[in-house]
Structure 1
Amino acid sequence: MAGPENDSTSLRIDTSRPHPARMYDWFLGGKDNYPVDEAMGRQMLAVEPGVPVMAKVNRAFMHRATSWLAGQGIRQFLDIGTGIPTEPNLHQVAQRTAPTTRVVYCDHDPIVLAHAAALLKGTPEGAVDYVQADARDVDAILEQAGRTLDFTQPVGLSLIALLHFVSDEDGAYALVDRLVSVLAPGSYLTISHLTADFHPEEARKVDEMYKANALTLAPRTRERFAAFFEGLDIVEPGIVAGEAWHPELGAPVPGQDDIVSAGYVAVARKG
């Protein structure tokens, strides 16, 4: 499928302040970031040296969850908050199992749009498309994604490391409810989300850094994270730290003292 046009208006990238997607890229060893992103990234490392490992744990969870969903027969995915492409991407993982899988990526960051061509390299049998939209503009996302996805059939909705950048006041729960409401029975919701439960002092300092740079950060407790899945059936091993999500084992792997990630993850099915 043809990707979005890279016009000069849509590609205005603000390099005057750090951006979470570009910092995430830096933590993963990518090159699509700027000095301002590296500077804040290094400040975060001074507080919590394990941040790069946390980023990799989150990425690995996305890979496992996508592979598991493909194994359950999911052949359509909507990934909102895509971030800067890092291979393997979600569509590559899913299309390994089923080449006919259809995937729509969505992000609002112009630097992601600049790399949309890399996101769109899928199998000839499947389909991959990209939507340039704010995560809170659910109607626009659904309208454009509907050109590639059939919402009368099950969809894997992926919200990886997105919702902790959307405050309650900005409608985090409402946007999830709206998205889930249009999904067909048999669809799945996958979320990874920052929490302060595991490393409270470090999380407090990182939160202060974000506020100092006028960036939104909304880490949530396990209870508040669970609220995103209201009315859905959470699959085993339930709500766990990222490295503990191994449905093939049916139970969390590490103990509480062994957790290195900074977030909860879960996958839930719509009945």
Structure 2
Amino acid sequence: MYDYYLGGHTNFPADREAAGRAMALFPSVLVAARANREFMHRATRFLATVGMRQFLDVGTGIPTSPNLHEVAQDVAPEARVVYADNDPIVLAHAQALLRSHPAGRTAYVQADATDPAALLAAPEVKQTLDLGEPVALSLNALLHFVPGERRAHEIVEYFKDALPSGSTLAISHVTPDFDPEGIARLTEAYRASGTPGQARTREEFTRFFSGWELFEPGITTSHRWRPDPGQTFGDVTDAEAACYAAVARKP
């Protein structure tokens, strides 16, 4: 569904049907998806520019170019990237994609974000990343698919504890703060398609970064996080972007 929103070609009839229902109930979902994707690009480029050379993207989804590794390695060709997802369809597409990239620098692990210990212990992670050195962890558009307040925060805290000082955390997350009725309809559309979710408030989102140092501008909506010079989102509103976003560093 996300690939379809982004105008990609790696989606299936069931995805398009479910995306159509979501769009009917929350027409701004296309704007939200694309603003979120642009946030990922900017956050990755920013982190590579300030010296991050290891990236772990959890919940990557079906690859839609430009992908995180393309952005990071455009800034720093030596950057190492691991993608993680639990969908076998994603695995098939990722394997095809990664065959065209330098061996050892970009890898994919089939793993479940709700079991962060197993994910970090996966051979593909250990062979590609040095977990004793800073890692840029990306949890973009992922945690709103983890219902339950404690579970989502427990997952994030595990990753935060496991990564060394100097590591960074980038998160984007759907919020009901600007259009509670619209987001309730969107959540119900996803639930009806077999994908439960939970939007979170600014306060709930802020807790994910507890103890870490936020980069400017702190917590904001996805399209307002460090827009590129000259970049414009036209008349996009916070309600249409519908996601909070932030990047922080571990002291």
If the length of structure 1 is used for normalisation, what is the TM-score? 0.84
Cα distance in 2 for partners of 1:248, 1:53 equals 17
Aligned to 1:225: 205
The one-character-per-residue Cα deviations of 1:202-252 (angstroms, maximum 9, x if unpaired) are 111112223333421110000000011111011110111110000778xxx
Aligned to 1:179: 159
Aligned to 2:221: 241
Q: Residue 140 of structure 1 aligns to which amino acid in structure 2?
A: A
Q: CA distance change for structure 1 residues 123 and 50 in 2, over 3 Å: closer, same or farther?
A: same
Aligned to 1:194: 174
The one-character-per-residue Cα deviations of 1:165-205 (angstroms, maximum 9, x if unpaired) are 01226721111111111111111000000111122111111
Query: Deviation at 1:34?
Result: 2.3
Q: Residue 53 of structure 2 aligns to which amino acid in structure 1?
A: R
Q: CA distance change for structure 1 residues 143 and 218 in 2, over 3 Å: closer, same or farther?
A: same
Aligned to 1:115: 93
Aligned to 1:77: 55
Q: Name the SS of the counterpart of 2:241 in structure 1.
A: coil
Judge which range, 41-50 or 72-81, deviates more. 41-50
Matches within 5 A, 1:134-213: 134-144=112-122, 145-168=125-148, 171-213=151-193
Greater RCO (Cα-Cα under 8 Å, separation 6 or more)? 2
Q: Is the 8 A contact 2:22 2:190 kept in 1?
A: no
Q: Name the SS of the counterpart of 1:66 in structure 2.
A: helix
Q: CA distance change for structure 1 residues 219 and 59 in 2, over 3 Å: closer, same or farther?
A: same
Q: Residue 206 of structure 1 aligns to which amino acid in structure 2?
A: L
Q: Is the 8 A contact 2:26 2:185 kept in 1?
A: no
Judge which range, 131-140 or 41-50, deviates more. 41-50
Aligned to 2:17: 39
Q: Residue 64 of structure 2 aligns to which amino acid in structure 1?
A: T
Give the alignment's Cα RMSD to 1 decimal: 2.2
Q: How many residues align?
A: 246
Structure 1 counterpart of 2:237, from 253, 258, 263: 258
Q: Is the 8 A contact 1:95 1:123 kept in 2?
A: no
Q: Is the 8 A contact 2:18 2:193 kept in 1?
A: no
Give the fraction of aligned pairs with identical amino acids, expressed as a percent.
51
Unaligned runs of 5+ in 1: 1-22
The one-character-per-residue Cα deviations of 1:15-34 (angstroms, maximum 9, x if unpaired) are xxxxxxxx111111223222
Q: Is the 8 A contact 1:166 1:218 kept in 2?
A: yes
Unaligned runs of 5+ in 2: none
Q: Residue 151 of structure 2 aligns to which amino acid in structure 1?
A: G
Query: Deviation at 1:118?
Result: 4.2
Aligned to 1:48: 26
Q: Residue 237 of structure 2 aligns to which amino acid in structure 1?
A: D
Judge which range, 162-171 or 231-240, deviates more. 162-171
Aligned to 1:268: 248
Instruction: Kindly indicate which of the two structures has a greater share of residues assigned to helix.
Output: 2
Matches within 5 A, 1:11-26: 23-26=1-4
Q: CA distance change for structure 1 residues 115 and 170 in 2, over 3 Å: closer, same or farther?
A: farther
1:62 aligns with 2:40: yes
The 4+ residue runs of structure 1 with deviation greater than 4 A are none
